Structure 1
């Protein structure tokens, strides 16, 4: 997205990496919440539906992770490189808050 369109949409410095990271974090949160809901559910029908939702959420998480790895946004097997990416993302977030 061009800077002009980003500014028009009120997105400022939103990047594909920021969006993908937020999507990945949301998927992780959904997985945790769904797993918790399964343990709290007494209805076999609801439990089955939640298991299917959990399966789908885990699959989506995998797709997002694969995308992020392919773009160089996520390095789950290289802690040193991931630390650099995390530091850069933190600095970007700080810069966005100052705009």
Structure 2
């Protein structure tokens, strides 16, 4: 995104956070999908492959979560603060020109 547009829309502070949260949600979805697929695998070889991919997806999720926690963008152990941040991000998104 153009830096001037980011500044004018307020996205200059949210862009990295929004991308990281989107990545975190996608990683969490991947974990869930691999877990379901692994439990329904027909052959031991397929189950082993899916389990390996599940482990990698969990590692990816943990890395993204740690990155976001370190920057104060994600507070999984403080639901009240996380909710406040989510509401603030929603309000910012709603004020963006559409």
Q: Bin the TM-score by the shorter chain.
A: 0.7 to 0.9
Counterparts of 1:61-76 in structure 2 under 5 Å?
61-76=61-76
TM-score, structure 1 normalization: 0.82
| Matched position secondary structure for 1:73 | coil
Post-superposition Cα deviations, 1:6-63, rounded to whole Å, max 9, x if no partner, equal: 6xxxxx9460000000000000000111111111111111110100000000011000
Q: Following TM superposition, by how much is the alpha carbon of 1:88 offset from its aligned partner in structure 2, in angstroms?
A: 1.3
1:93 aligned residue: 93
Give me the whole-angstrom Cα distance separating, in 2, the residues matched to 1:76 and 1:83. 10
1:86 counterpart SS class = helix
Root-mean-square deviation (CA, aligned residues, Å) is 2.1
Structure 1 consecutive aligned stretches of length 4 or more whose deviation exceeds 6 Å: none
Confirm or deny that 1:55 pairs with 2:55: yes
Structure 1: distance between partners of 2:82 and 2:46: 38
How far did 1:2 drift?
A: 5.3
Bigger drift between 66-75 and 86-95 goes to 86-95
